[in-house]
Amino acid sequence: MGGHNEELKMGGLILKQEGLSGLMPDRNVANWAVSLSEVDAGVCGILSAENQMLRSIAAHSQALVGAKNLDGRYLYVNSAYERLFKKSADGLIGHFDRDFMPESIAQSLRMADVKAQSHPEGIQMEESVEVDGVIRHFLSTKFPIFDEQRRLLGTGVIAHDISDKRKAIDELRRLATTDYQTGAMNHRTFCGFVETELDRSRRYGYPLSLVMFDLDNFKKINDNYGHGAGDLVIGGFSSLVQQQIRETDGFGRMGGEEFAALLPHSTTEQAAAWAQRVRQQLRQQQQQKAFADGVIVTFSAGIAEFSEATDSVESLLHSADMHMYRAKHQGRDRICYKSNESLKMEQSA
């Protein structure tokens, strides 16, 4: 588009641009002229008023308003762009996104620009921009800009900052899916996770095991030392387990002092070995943090593996729960599970 004259239709009038440097008249965009041979003085007055109105709207908008040429160089930016990037318009116009943001983000923005050019009605999407190391989220409307002959000139963008709304939504989602006290999945979310993994296990044929935990003598800790101490025990145990699980595993609080861990790609024996490591880690912690009266935090655990008899969320949880209660009845501080129709028990070392 270089130095030749271009025409841009705006409000039913044709603007002639000499030496293209922007797509909107603004204090940052020079060399706009209106051909007086084509319009009379009255129309020029209307044009001037319209241009002033558009300038004022763009300048006072809290949204980012900008335009880029077909190569992705900025042709116009409003004051919101200047505030966001802490650069003058002159420092932005003529530059690419990649000149002031990470390449990966710039490429994503560029792909959206190109997509918008083939949608005359415009497109809307959520985009992210990194500024001073902080990610900001925007709801962007992008659209192609044409001249009077319907030749494509560039891409326009109007983007509203939704970072605060996005943060609030993420926080609501976190509160809705996690246990506020421990950060583990809540009961509902964990059961949904189990359902998803059961479907995958059926489809791909890999083993899957569930470990149910119940902290021993928890009521005694609450009664003797108060609920504050009980909360610390709950939080400490949850943190310990979450440090031991893999990214593909799931861990949830089922209620009170009961927790559950789902271990995809793990047999009963593998899950038992993992639970035993957790038990040993907990015992090492207790050597340093035992209560004054000698009460230590231990757990009883039951393990169930996905099978024809435990092919649903309810049956898998029930089976693990039954083995956990068996561990309780056998004296606590142990892990119980069924293998080859015989009960096995990992007792205190």
| pLDDT tens-place string over residues 211-220 | 999 999 898 8
Q: Examine the pLDDT at 345 and tell me if it is beyond 90.
A: no
Q: Examine the pLDDT at 69 and tell me if it is beyond 60.
A: yes
Per-residue pLDDT reduced to its tens digit, 26-59: 444 433 344 434 444 554 555 567 777 877 888 8
What's the pLDDT at 54?
Answer: 78
Residues 152 and 288 in one domain: no
Count of other CB atoms within 10 angstroms of residue 203: 8
What's the pLDDT at 11?
Answer: 37
Per-residue pLDDT reduced to its tens digit, 266-282: 999 999 999 999 999 99
Q: Say if residues 70 and 144 touch (Cβ distance below 8 Å).
A: no
What's the pLDDT at 85?
Answer: 94
Identify the CATH number of the domain in which residue 216 sits. 3.30.70.270
Q: Examine the pLDDT at 229 and tell me if it is beyond 80.
A: yes
What's the whole-number mean pLDDT along residues 291-320? 90
Residues 157 and 196 in one domain: no
Weakest mean pLDDT among 8-17, 74-83, 192-201, 275-284: 8-17
Instruction: Specify the 3-state DSSP secondary structure of 56.
Output: helix
**Mean model confidence pLDDT for the chain:** 84
Per-residue pLDDT reduced to its tens digit, 152-208: 999 999 999 999 999 999 889 888 999 999 999 999 999 999 999 999 999 999 999
Residues 214 and 83 in one domain: no
The larger pLDDT score, comparing residue 124 to residue 13, is at 124
Does some domain include residue 92? yes
What's the pLDDT at 293?
Answer: 67
The larger pLDDT score, comparing residue 180 to residue 25, is at 180
Residues 132 and 194 in one domain: no
Sign of the dihedral defined by the CA atoms of residues 111, 113, 117, 118, in that order: positive
Does some domain include residue 1? no
Among residues 117, 148, 167, the one where a domain terminates is: 167
Identify the CATH number of the domain in which residue 107 sits. 3.30.450.20
What's the pLDDT at 288?
Answer: 66
Q: Please, which residues have CB within 8 angstroms of residue 243's CB and are 6 or more apart in sequence?
A: none
What's the pLDDT at 338?
Answer: 83
What's the pLDDT at 37?
Answer: 44
- Alpha carbon separation from 325 to 273, 300, 339 (Å, rounded): 19, 8, 17
Sign of the dihedral defined by the CA atoms of residues 223, 225, 231, 233, in that order: negative
Q: Say if residues 51 and 59 touch (Cβ distance below 8 Å).
A: no
Residues 329 and 187 in one domain: yes
Residues 112 and 47 in one domain: yes
Helices (H), the chain: 41-60, 79-85, 89-92, 103-117, 163-177, 187-204, 218-225, 227-244, 268-289, 313-329
Rounded to an integer, what distance in angstroms lies between the CA atom of residue 311 and that of residue 75? Answer: 60
What's the pLDDT at 6?
Answer: 44
Residues 161 and 291 in one domain: no
What's the pLDDT at 289?
Answer: 66
Does some domain include residue 172? no
Among residues 112, 135, 167, the one where a domain terminates is: 167
Q: With bands split at pLDDT 50, 70 and 90, how would you rate the model's confidence at 118? A: very high
Total domains in the chain come to: 2
Does some domain include residue 327? yes
Weakest mean pLDDT among 40-54, 58-72, 86-100: 40-54
Rounded to an integer, what distance in angstroms lies between the CA atom of residue 86 and that of residue 65? Answer: 15
Residues 92 and 144 in one domain: yes
Residues 125 and 203 in one domain: no
Rounded to an integer, what distance in angstroms lies between the CA atom of residue 21 and that of residue 27? Answer: 12
Beta bridge partners of 33: 16
What's the pLDDT at 52?
Answer: 77
Rounded to an integer, what distance in angstroms lies between the CA atom of residue 21 and that of residue 108? Answer: 24
Residues 154 and 187 in one domain: no
Residues 74 and 47 in one domain: yes
Give the range of the structural domain holding residue 25, as residue numbers without chain letter: 6-167
Q: With bands split at pLDDT 50, 70 and 90, how would you rate the model's confidence at 5? A: very low
Q: With bands split at pLDDT 50, 70 and 90, how would you rate the model's confidence at 20? A: very low
Weakest mean pLDDT among 21-25, 60-64, 112-116: 21-25
Tell me whether strands 342-346 and 258-264 are parallel, antiparallel or unpaired: unpaired
Residues 103 and 41 in one domain: yes
What's the pLDDT at 295?
Answer: 78
Does some domain include residue 226? yes
Among residues 116, 147, 167, the one where a domain terminates is: 167
Does some domain include residue 173? no
Weakest mean pLDDT among 191-195, 280-284, 307-311, 336-340: 336-340
- Stated pTM of the model: 0.63
